[in-house]
Structure 1
Amino acid sequence: MAVQNISESVYVGMCLKIGTPQQVASRRDIVDSKEMLINNEMLNNPITVMLSGSLGEGFRLSGSDMDYMHWPNNHRVIWDFSQVHFYNTQEHTLILCDSSESPPGFTLLWLPLEETSHMVMSACVRMNGMLCISSSMYREVTCSLVFPGSSPHGPCGSGSYGSLEYDTAHCFISDFWPPSASSWIDRCHSWPPPHVVNDIIRNGCHFVAIGHKLGNHTGNEWRISFSQAEYKLVCSMNHTQFLTYGLLKLFLKEIINEGLRDEDKLLCSYHMKTTVFWAIQQNALPRWCPQNLMDGFWVCFKLLLKWVYEGVCPNFFIPENNMFLSNIYGEAQKTLFTRLYRLYENGLALLLHSPSIRSYIINVLCNPRLVICTDEHTLISEVEVDENIFDEVYANDSIYTLDLHECEKNLHMVEQLLGLPLTQYHIVMLQKLTATILQRTAFTLHSMYTNTGSNKQLYIVDKVACRFVKLAAKFGFVSDMLYIAMYYYKSFRYRDALSVIDTIKVKLAQPYLMYDSHVDRERYTEAVGSQSLSTKMRQAVAQNIKIVDEIFYINALIPEQQSSKQNNVFILFIPPHVLLYMLEFLCSRHVDTMRAQRTLDDLQVLVHHDQGQLVPVHLRDISWEILGICQQITGNLQAALYSYQQSLRQDPHNRIQTATRQRIQDLHL
């Protein structure tokens, strides 16, 4: 009974730490919506992009990297020449896979026709009279394609974007399931279900640019990647199985690898995932439910311990691929086994060393008769669920194109996607993406025709652009109304902008507004409780404003946009209240100087005295900067200097320091 209570208590803790079933489902659907849009065939994008790894699977653990896979749509890997007839060779470059000289799970990739893109050709070497795509050379060529300045890390280009770490893997895709993984199909008797198996096989596999350390052609070999299949397997888990996987990830990070140098960390999250896959498929636990979460964890830990003892970790899809072969052997293997066995001897008490889990075990040990409710609706309130969903929507709200034709195709694509059977999470994400596309289209139109169009053209374009930013405000967050004010300011309609600003002020001052994890739960529930996510987003949620580097919304912020771009950050993030005051100040200067001074005073009070409620701590750099810009415009150079100096002392989230230092120099004090 005690173990069952501990299991239920840890289940609750893991739901709060990792997410309830609803939260995890919403994360996956929101990411899925974005990928359905950016990867749609109608857009004719040359590259497909997929979020993989922990974030793609639905985890939001601190310290998780953003892992992306990119592959060219006009290249396909085939396993033998009989598969050539499935393709039009005018449209696809075919790559032949040859695993005959490689360890299990790895392969060489040949170009039979020796015709491909310049980028792929530059990564080719000649072997036995044929062109072979070298994995090491391809890594080098593609490392910094997505994010300039990335450094090689395994098969990826790695670095940081703002405060987030990323890994981008450029790979190739095969539409066919690998022959070496055919045994996996035969093993799928009880899990995953047949429709998942069929879906996995139908989607083939990928090849990432890294060879086996002990292979004959390490620098040229490619690893067969089952990332897409693994994502589908994780999605087919029930929530207890998913939390078991999450618990193993925490166990690895907070206990096994705690205090170790990176080079001494022999086990990784992929090993944890593999143990869960095998444990589920082998029916190691008859029933996975909250009451036996600890049993599930223990089954997986024992399996891992067995693998370390034997020095064999069989890949889930190609068991002949021993994933311990190159690093867990000899003295390192013995040391790791000893370390794990000592933990094993402690029994479930070993989890008392985990800061994330400890309190949930202690609660039960101190209150053995504690009754624990594992129903997700009692674990987390509607307000908390909404908060997580809207943060997720905001994080995935990015459209990369500025081409008007592409914007048009994106809008048409959204229209088509809305005809599919979608969840509420799909719909709210597509709604926000629509708002963003409309905003980008409006500002792009304005910049294209301002200096080149005739008066009649300008009038028509302006009318269309105005309609777009107003329409976007009806789809997006409350804070999206600021784009209307920015558009009016950019087109010199200061009174119109101030009228919109007055409306926004009222909306941002509502007591039920949700912003940056600050919300009056009772009032929020009274105002929009039980409404659709779409309604909640439009009426009761504000988010920070994204100023993308390709569009100059406000000329006064151009140096900051250029500074962040130079530092590989392509978006400025500005608190809505700070931007509101900046726009009010800039517009009022032209029509009401008294109002301009009052607004500047309000902005100063906000930036100086806010306790993280309206000016998030990580955005104080841009907030102090904007205050300094406004002070400098009025001629108060000493105050501007102080503000710029304060900006330099903050967390450099927006990477605007170059602009700040230049502004200080330009003061000539």
Structure 2
Amino acid sequence: MSHSKTDSLNFYKYLCQKIGSRAIVKGRRLIYISRDLGSSDTFTPHIASGSKGEGLDLKGSDFDVMIISPLYVVYKSDKDVVQDWRTVLLMDTEDSPPCFTQLQLYTNVNNLPNFLKQQLQQHRGKHLLSSELYKSHMIEQMQAFYSGFKLNIHGPCLSDINDKMDFAICLKCDQWVSQAQPWISRPRLIWPSPELISKITLCGTLFVPIGNKGSVNENLQWRISFSVAEKILIYSFSHTQLLCYALLKILLKEIVNEEGDLKGLLCSYFLKTLMFWISEANETSVWRPDNIIPCFMGCLKRLLYCKEYSTLLHYFIPDNNLFYLRFNNKQRNTLINFLKQSCQKGIMFFSSSLTLHDYRRIPCKTTRSVCAKNLFTGSIKGYLSSSINRYNLVLVFTLLNHCKSELSRCIFKLAFALPHVYNPNNKQRYKFYKHNLSQLLVGVQSDAESGWMYLVSFFYGHNNYLSSIDIINYTLSKYTDESCLSKFSLKQTDTQKLISLIPSPYVVLRKGNSVIPMELKSPQPFDLFIAVSAIPFAHFLRFLCCYHLHDFRTSRYCISKLSETVIEYNHSREQKPIAILYNFLLLGIALQMLGETYLARKYFRMAAQYDQYCVTSATFRLRQFS
């Protein structure tokens, strides 16, 4: 079936409207890049992957995140090891098929906390990190800290119950693994370039917790992941290449998987691998807008060829045939027949897809309103409003300040219009002081997330101790009045007004938040977030203010009130374990500041007993006394 250049150009313009123009894709990527970079200086850096991370926003696409565990580091051999506080693992590929490895413990097992020891399994005299036990521990840990957030194990990932988000909590090796070494120098035409290859190898590799299906030691194996390398390669695609890749994904999700006999036979990773092989074998000049239909049909025919010969080699480690024993004869023949029919119909078989069903029925003139409003404003603004304020907006500004397109400026305006925490210098300091103060005052009006205590902590961080004390005294007086409500007969309206002045039960502060008191900040890898009861936090803040005002008599009174409240809350059934933990931690810090080391050690020890997974600084602070 022949197609003219005009047909291809019209189809290309149509796809830009439906899937996204070059500018739209660039905008999506900038948002996710800023998100990834914003996490790079946190305890758990992560990488957006899947379609969204690649710049596509297709129907039914979930959100995939690669979260890098900070507790482990992987090396190729013991000669490369550089010891630090992390648990060191070594690759052991002796009993593993291509693309998989076992991870042997290098750190002395006796130096590990119990929760790490529980993830190990002995095999042939070695301590190996079990991928199965690791996933079980991760899901147990996340659900312990986020009650009500239900997760399921989905392959190497943890998925929410609606399968909208996949979290792969992976391990990292900063080296390029030996199994993929031949990829660097194998013969190729133009793509990828030597510069791109060099950039990729410097990124190292990841390991995800899943073994080779059917292997004897499947529960001990980890799959070598090249997600970062694959993302870099896709970012190097021309827009025509990216659209062909998107067409393959639409074919899979909206057509193939809708056929009962075909559902689940193919996956997106196969299509990505196929695109890499095709791109490596062709001149880059082939991928032109006026040649997009022949390009896509070539991809479809290559998929059919791979299916007929049951061969699709892993792009980085070709010793692994992704199609080996993947299908039985019936499945193979059904899929081959379907692909043959698709090749005969050409691009018109997309008429049965949700995304591209109206091709030929709408004009192929790409308008600014379609791209900017429908594709960008809808998807990107939705993402910004839910996520971007959690990360460092300075990174967004840095990225977008060097991109002069109108789209980039639009992204920046959308991001900047959202509430955020910003820590500038010099001329901007006063401006953002007023901005942050106004945001906190809004929080006080609704008392969202203990707005009163956020405001106090904000003033304390700016050395405004007297204002902090005034607000604390006022807030605590209202709390005392509220506790006596049952003794008085108040009108319902009066009760509601009074309750609006009472702090919410908990204050939650994320690591890096500018309102966290300096005394609560701890070195990595501790205290990703602080969840403390509001009233003990109020007493603690009042102690800090009095301490810095050198009013030590009142400081000791504040500690006595804090101690009474913490002990009372410890016996309350309504208090969450994580809040009790941080209540003890606050009391220990205050006592340590006044030189009461014996009592401080006591409360740090009590906090450490609640800290089952060693995610807070309780154990670290306790060790400082030894």
- The bucket for the TM-score relative to the shorter chain is 0.5 to 0.7
SS of the equivalent of 2:342 reads helix
SS of the equivalent of 1:47 reads coil
- Shift of the 182–389 alpha-carbon distance from structure 1 to 2, 3 Å rule, reads same
Aligned residues: 447
Q: Which residue of 2 aligns with 1:393?
A: 384
After the TM superposition, which residues 322-361 of structure 1 pair with which residues of structure 2 at under 5 Å, given as runs? 322-361=321-360
- Shift of the 244–183 alpha-carbon distance from structure 1 to 2, 3 Å rule, reads same
- Shift of the 391–100 alpha-carbon distance from structure 1 to 2, 3 Å rule, reads same
Structure 2, gaps ≥5 residues long: 144-148, 423-435, 444-449, 473-496, 510-626
Q: 1:285 Cα shift?
A: 7.0
Find the aligned partners of 1:256 and 1:350 in 2 and give their Cα distance: 11
Residues 30, 429 of structure 1: 8 Å contact kept: no
After the TM superposition, which residues 492-507 of structure 1 pair with which residues of structure 2 at under 5 Å, given as runs? none
Q: Does 1:142 align with 2:138?
A: yes
* Residue type at the aligned position of 1:315: H
Q: Does 1:431 align with 2:422?
A: no
* Residue type at the aligned position of 1:72: S
SS of the equivalent of 1:51 reads strand
* Residue type at the aligned position of 1:101: D
Q: 1:461 Cα shift?
A: 7.7
- Shift of the 449–428 alpha-carbon distance from structure 1 to 2, 3 Å rule, reads closer
* Residue type at the aligned position of 1:192: P
Q: Which residue of 1 aligns with 2:56?
A: 59
Find the aligned partners of 1:38 and 1:214 in 2 and give their Cα distance: 36
SS of the equivalent of 2:172 reads strand
Residues 67, 168 of structure 1: 8 Å contact kept: yes
* Residue type at the aligned position of 1:153: H
After the TM superposition, which residues 563-582 of structure 1 pair with which residues of structure 2 at under 5 Å, given as runs? none
Find 1:126's aligned residue among 122, 126, 130.
Answer: 122
Cα deviation per residue 1:190-214 (whole Å; 9 max; x = unaligned)? 1123332222110111000011114
SS of the equivalent of 2:358 reads helix
Cα deviation per residue 1:214-252 (whole Å; 9 max; x = unaligned)? 433111111001111111111111111111111111111
Residues 279, 285 of structure 1: 8 Å contact kept: no
Find 2:75's aligned residue among 58, 78, 84.
Answer: 78
Q: 1:434 Cα shift?
A: 6.4
Find the aligned partners of 1:422 and 1:73 in 2 and give their Cα distance: 32
Q: 1:255 Cα shift?
A: 1.9
Q: Which residue of 1 aligns with 2:269?
A: 270
- Shift of the 61–415 alpha-carbon distance from structure 1 to 2, 3 Å rule, reads closer
Cα deviation per residue 1:420-466 (whole Å; 9 max; x = unaligned)? 96444675576357635647877567226779x99x846258899xx
Q: Which residue of 2 aligns with 1:101?
A: 95
Residues 418, 427 of structure 1: 8 Å contact kept: no
Q: Which residue of 1 aligns with 2:154?
A: 153
Q: 1-10 vs 166-175, which deviates more?
A: 1-10
Find the aligned partners of 2:505 and 2:166 in 1 and give their Cα distance: 22
Residues 397, 432 of structure 1: 8 Å contact kept: no
Q: Which residue of 1 aligns with 2:30?
A: 29
Residues 285, 296 of structure 1: 8 Å contact kept: no
TM-score (norm. length: structure 1): 0.59
Q: Which residue of 2 aligns with 1:314?
A: 313
- Shift of the 550–154 alpha-carbon distance from structure 1 to 2, 3 Å rule, reads farther
After the TM superposition, which residues 284-323 of structure 1 pair with which residues of structure 2 at under 5 Å, given as runs? 286-323=285-322
* Residue type at the aligned position of 1:252: L
Find the aligned partners of 1:461 and 1:305 in 2 and give their Cα distance: 73
Find the aligned partners of 2:177 and 2:349 in 1 and give their Cα distance: 40
* Residue type at the aligned position of 1:14: L
Cα deviation per residue 1:75-95 (whole Å; 9 max; x = unaligned)? 2111112211xx2x1333221
Find the aligned partners of 1:241 and 1:463 in 2 and give their Cα distance: 60
SS of the equivalent of 2:359 reads helix
- Shift of the 276–462 alpha-carbon distance from structure 1 to 2, 3 Å rule, reads farther
The two structures, once aligned, show a CA RMSD in angstroms of 3.9
Residues 49, 71 of structure 1: 8 Å contact kept: yes
Find the aligned partners of 1:12 and 1:317 in 2 and give their Cα distance: 33
* Residue type at the aligned position of 2:72: H
Find the aligned partners of 1:78 and 1:433 in 2 and give their Cα distance: 41
Residues 450, 458 of structure 1: 8 Å contact kept: no
Find the aligned partners of 2:316 and 2:286 in 1 and give their Cα distance: 23
Find the aligned partners of 1:281 and 1:202 in 2 and give their Cα distance: 20
Find 2:453's aligned residue among 429, 439, 447.
Answer: 447
Q: 1:548 Cα shift?
A: 13
Find the aligned partners of 2:451 and 2:141 in 1 and give their Cα distance: 28
Residues 35, 50 of structure 1: 8 Å contact kept: yes
Cα deviation per residue 1:619-667 (whole Å; 9 max; x = unaligned)? xxxxxxxxxxxxxxxxxxxxxxxxxxxxxxxxxxxxxxxxxxxxxxxxx
Residues 71, 170 of structure 1: 8 Å contact kept: yes
Residues 144, 151 of structure 1: 8 Å contact kept: no
Q: Percent identity?
A: 29
After the TM superposition, which residues 10-25 of structure 1 pair with which residues of structure 2 at under 5 Å, given as runs? 10-25=11-26
Residues 9, 289 of structure 2: 8 Å contact kept: yes
Residues 29, 53 of structure 2: 8 Å contact kept: yes
Find the aligned partners of 2:122 and 2:293 in 1 and give their Cα distance: 54
- Shift of the 321–117 alpha-carbon distance from structure 1 to 2, 3 Å rule, reads farther
Find the aligned partners of 2:395 and 2:160 in 1 and give their Cα distance: 36
TM-score (norm. length: structure 2): 0.63
Q: 1:344 Cα shift?
A: 2.4
Cα deviation per residue 1:510-555 (whole Å; 9 max; x = unaligned)? xxxxxxxxxxxxxxxxxxxxxxxxxxxxxxxxxxxxx999679xxx
- Shift of the 385–433 alpha-carbon distance from structure 1 to 2, 3 Å rule, reads closer
SS of the equivalent of 1:360 reads coil
Q: Which residue of 1 aligns with 2:562?
A: none
Cα deviation per residue 1:141-172 (whole Å; 9 max; x = unaligned)? 11354464211110111124xx7711111110
- Shift of the 114–325 alpha-carbon distance from structure 1 to 2, 3 Å rule, reads farther
Q: Which residue of 2 aligns with 1:651?
A: none
Residues 446, 462 of structure 1: 8 Å contact kept: no
Q: Which residue of 2 aligns with 1:257?
A: 257
Residues 453, 507 of structure 2: 8 Å contact kept: no
SS of the equivalent of 1:447 reads helix
SS of the equivalent of 1:219 reads helix
Find the aligned partners of 2:399 and 2:346 in 1 and give their Cα distance: 52
Residues 136, 210 of structure 1: 8 Å contact kept: yes
Find the aligned partners of 1:419 and 1:167 in 2 and give their Cα distance: 27
Q: 276-285 vs 110-119, which deviates more?
A: 110-119
Residues 389, 419 of structure 2: 8 Å contact kept: no
After the TM superposition, which residues 397-436 of structure 1 pair with which residues of structure 2 at under 5 Å, given as runs? 397-399=388-390, 414=394, 418=398, 422-423=402-403, 424=408, 427-428=412-413, 431=416, 435=420
Q: Does 1:5 align with 2:6?
A: yes
SS of the equivalent of 1:70 reads strand
Q: Which residue of 2 aligns with 1:68?
A: 65
* Residue type at the aligned position of 1:321: N
SS of the equivalent of 1:168 reads strand
- Shift of the 56–12 alpha-carbon distance from structure 1 to 2, 3 Å rule, reads same
After the TM superposition, which residues 642-661 of structure 1 pair with which residues of structure 2 at under 5 Å, given as runs? none
SS of the equivalent of 1:359 reads coil
Residues 72, 172 of structure 1: 8 Å contact kept: yes
